[in-house]
Structures are given as C-alpha cells and as structure tokens.
Structure 1
Amino acid sequence: MSEYILETRNLSFQYPDGTKALRNINLKIEKGKKISVVGVNGSGKSTLFLNFNGVLKPTEGILLYKGKEVKHNHRSLLELRKNIGIVFQDPENQLFSASVFQEVSFGAMNLRIAEDEVRNRVNEALRNVGMYEYKDKAVHFLSYGQKKRVSIADILVMKPEIIVFDEPTSSLDPKHSKQMVKIFDELNDNGMTVILSTHDVELAYSYSDYIIVMKDGEIVKQGTPVEIFSDDNLIRDCYLEKPMVLEIFQQLCKNNKFISEKDIPRNKEELFHVLKVLG
C-alpha cells in the first residue's frame, strides 16, 4: 500500500495583488519517490513549492504532512521546515555566510544541537555533495555550480525527509547538470523523497517516477513519464516538447512491427539497446 508523505487538498493561493497563482491543487506525493513538476514560467510551480514548506499559507484548502494537517503556527512550521527543505533556483538568494562551513552549519546551529553533532552533520552534508574539500573556502570565490552544491548541503544538514529543487539544472553546463542528477539519485537511494521543477523534458522523462504537469496555476495531468509524454494533446496544450528518446522510439514503432510498446526506453542507453536488438 502506498504511503503518502505530502498531500494537498483543494489548495489555492492568491497573492496580495490579486494574482491567483494556484487553483484547487490536489496532490498525493508518495514517500521515497522521484517527482518532477513541469510547466511553462508562471504556471505556479514555485508558488506550490513555497506552500509545501509553509513559506506561503494557502488562501483555501489544506496541506498535509504524513497525514496530519499543517497548522501555520511557529511550532508546526518549524517542524515542517526541518523535514521539507527547498533549494532555490539561484544559489545567490540562499547563501549569505562568509565561509562554506559557516554557511552549511547555520541551519543546524538553529536546531540547538551539540556542537560536535553540528560539525558531523556539516561534514557529512558537504561530502554528500562533493564539497568537503572546500569547507574553509570563502563562498564568494566558488563557481556557480559549486554554490549550487553548497545550497543543497544547506538543506541536507537539517536531515529532511523531502527535498525540493526549483529548476536545479538551470544555468549549468552538461557536466555539472549530470553531477547534480547524480546527487539527486544518491539522496533518493538513501530514502529521501525528491521533488523538482524543470523545463528540461529530457531530465523529467528519464529521471522521474511520476510527473505533475501545471498550467495557469492548475494541475492539468499527473502520471508516469510515459503516460505524460505520450499524450500529444497535452504536450501541445501545455507548450511542452516530447523527449527525443521517446520520439525516436515512436518513429521506430511505426516502421517496425517487432518493437513492443512494453520496451519503451526512458534514456539513451535503453534506446541504444533497442536499436542494437533491431540490428
């Protein structure tokens, strides 16, 4: 039986200027899954994430964490933010301390835990993102990709159960994007629920267990990567693109009766295997 770690029920959000950013959002996020949220700019992805950890309070509807409704009081929000961490798109908006160690230790220090435990957590978090050897370096000397990894360590030090990434591979070159995805996989392998928003349909298709498509503050469709990206009407209406791997496979299916739909590839390696079988 599925265990839902995060749910929204009829959740809506309106900004003070009257902008209706979210409309009647109903979601159930399974524990330990890899979730991608896709949609054009302005579709409501970032606003949804800020509702997830209580930075924003729903105008209507409710948020549930582990089956319990989130109350927007100090104690409830503190507990929520320990367990649901957000890594923002631009690390410059998240980093503010002088050195890498000071930066990553800040959240753990606020938990009022022992100094030795803080040090252990910081070292572990920095190792997890490949930044341990930079722990004494000044933050402003880091590259953009390194700052991204430190911003992840900022969250990992809190030992959350859910980590949320807002456009995590934007502005990264292919090498550093792959490093970032490797970090996601390692976190998920250790039991963490990973949620990310992305414009990269190739990443969403190859990486995700489940995809949520948003448009104009609403959820248009939810499903597996194959279900989502096989829906040509959805792709057109939500201004998405079909992942290249899936598009090539579908063309092969049209021209070869020996290819079965059950062999749908999710990445280049799986597509190459299909091509190899075809000879």
Structure 2
Amino acid sequence: MSEYILETRNLSYKYQDGTKALNNINVKIEKGKKVSFVGVNGSGKSTVFLNFNGILKPTKGSVIYKGNEVKYNQKSLLELRKNIGIVFQDPENQLFSASVYQEVSFGAMNLKLSETEVRRRVDAALMDVGMYEYKDKAVHFLSYGQKKRVAIADILVMNPEIIVFDEPTSSLDPKHSKQIVKIFDDLNQKGITVILSTHDVELAYAWSDYIIVLKDGEIAREGTPQEIFSDDKLIHECYLEKPFILEVFEKLRSSGKIDSSSAVPRNKQELFEIINSKGEINNC
C-alpha cells in the first residue's frame, strides 16, 4: 500500500487582487518519490508549492502532511517548514548572509541545536552539495550555480523529509544542470521526497517517477512519464513538447525499424541500447 507523505484536498487559492491561481487541486505525493510538476508560466506550479509549506494559506481546501491537516499557527508552521523545504528559482532571493558557512548555519541555529550539532549539520549539508571547500567564501563571490547549491544546503541543514525545487535548472548551463540533478538523485537515495517544477520536458521525462501537469490552475493530467508524454492530445492542449528521446523512439517503432515490443527508453543510453541491440534493427 502506498504511503502518501503530502496531499492536497480540493485546494484552491485566490490572490488578493482577485486572480484565481488554483482551482480544486487534489494531489497525493508518495513518500520517497521523485515528482515533477510541469506546465506553462502561470499554470499554478509556484502557487501550489507555496501552499505546500504554509507560506500561502488555501482560500479553500486543505494541505495534508503525513496524514494531518496543516494548521496555520506559528508553532505548526515552523514544524512544517522544517520538514518541507523550498528552494526558490532565484538563489538571490534566498541567500542573505555574508559567508557560506553563516548562510547555511542560520537555519540550524534557529532550531536551538548545540554548537556541535550545528557544525555537524552544516558540514554535512555543504558536502552533500559539493560546497564544503567554499564554506569560508563570501556568498556574493560565488557563481550562480554555486549559489544554487548553497541554497539547497540551506534547506538540507534542517533535515527535511521533503524538498521542493522551483525551476531548479533555469539559467544553468548543461554542466551545472547535471550537477544539480545528481544532487536530487543523491538526496532521493537517502529517502528524501524530491518535488520540482520544470519547463524542461527532457528532465521531467528522464528523471521523474511521477508527473503532474497543471493548466490554468487545474490538474490536466497526472501519471508516469510515459503516460504523460505519450498523450499527444495533452501535449498539444497544455503547450508542452514531446521529449526528444521518446519522439525518436516512437518514429523508429512506427516505421518498423525497431521491435514494437521494445521497452520505452527514458534516457539516451536506453535508446542507444535499443538501437544497437542485435536483432532489434530492421534495415535501420
């Protein structure tokens, strides 16, 4: 039986200017999964995330964490945000201390931990994101990609059960995007539930266990990467693109150049293995 660590029930949210951002969102996030939210700008992804950890309070409906409805008093919200951390799209909006060590230690110090435990957590968080050697460096001297990793360490130091990333690879080159994705995988292997929003359909397809598609503040569809990106009607209506790997595979299969029983590839390596597999190619 699946264990849902985070849920929303009939979640709706309207901003003060009257903008209806979310309408009856019902999602169930399984513990330990890698989940992507996809959709165009304005579809509601960031608003959902801000409701996840209580930064925003639903206009209607509720957020459920580990089976309990989120309460909006100070004590409950502090506990919630310790367990559900958000890494924002722009690290400049999250970082405010002079040095890397000061920045990452801030959250742990607010937990009233001993100095020894604070140091242990900060060192561990910085090592997890590959920034330990920069711990004494001034934050404003870091590159954009390094600031992204420090922002992740900010959250890791709290020992969260869920980390939510809003457009984590935006403005990053391919090298630094791969580094960030590896951090996601390492965190997930430690049992942390990783949730992200992304416009990168290649990332969502190759990386995710489960995908939720938002359109105009509502859930258009949810399912496995294959289910989502094999749905041509959904892709058209939600202004998405089919991942290149899947598109190539479907073209080869429809033309009879690979066996129709071949497993659908999720990444380049799997696609190459299908193409190079003895007996799979028919006059390719």
TM bin (shorter chain): over 0.9
What is the Cα deviation at residue 126 of structure 1? 0.1
Show the counterpart of 1:145. Answer: 145
Whether the 8 Å CA contact 2:104–2:122 is kept in 1: the answer is: yes
Q: Tell whether 2:266 aligns with 1:231.
A: no
Matched ranges for 1:104-183 at <5 A: 104-183=104-183
Structure 2 gap ranges (5+): none
Identity of aligned residues (%): 76
Give the equivalent residue in structure 2 for 1:207: 207
Letter aligned with residue 76 of structure 1: S
Task: Give the TM-score normalised by the residue count of structure 2.
Answer: 0.97
Structure 2 CA distance for aligned equivalents of residues 260 and 31 of structure 1:
34
Equivalent AA in structure 2 for residue 3 of structure 1: E
Cα RMSD (Å): 0.9
Whether the 8 Å contact between 2:258 and 2:275 is mirrored in structure 1 is no
What per-residue deviation string (whole Å, max 9, x for no partner) do you get for residues 83-113 of structure 1? 0000000000000000000000000000011
Alignment CA distance shift 1:168-1:254 (3 Å): same
Shift of 1:11: 0.4
Give the drift of 1:258: 5.2
3-state SS in 2 of match to 1:241: coil
- 1:247-270 deviation digits (Å, cap 9, x = unpaired): 000011112275235510000000
Residue type matched to 1:274 in 2?
Answer: I
Aligned-partner Cα distance in 2 for 1:92–1:70: 29
Q: Matches of residues 65-104 of structure 1 in structure 2 within 5 Å?
A: 65-104=65-104
Deviation beyond 4 Å, 4+ runs, structure 1: none
Give the AA of the match of 1:182.
K
The one-character-per-residue Cα deviations of 1:220-266 (angstroms, maximum 9, x if unpaired) are 10000000000000000000000000000001111227523551000
The Cα of 1:137 is off from its aligned counterpart by: 0.2
| In structure 2, C-alpha distance between the alignment counterparts of 1:121 and 1:223, rounded to whole Å | 36
Is the 2:33–2:209 Cα contact (8 Å) retained in structure 1?
A: yes
Q: Which amino acid aligns with 1:10?
A: N
1:16 aligns with 2:16: yes
* TM-score for the superposition, normalised by structure 1: 0.99
Per-residue Cα deviation, 1:195-236 (whole angstroms, up to 9, x for no partner)? 000000000000000000001111110000000000000000
In structure 2, what is the Cα distance between the partners aligned to 1:21 and 1:59?
10
Secondary structure in 2 matching 1:263: coil
Task: Kindly provide the amino acid, as one letter, of the partner of residue 263 in structure 2.
Answer: D
Query: SS where residue 158 of structure 1 aligns?
Result: coil
* Matched-pair contact (CA < 8 Å) for 2:162–2:192: yes
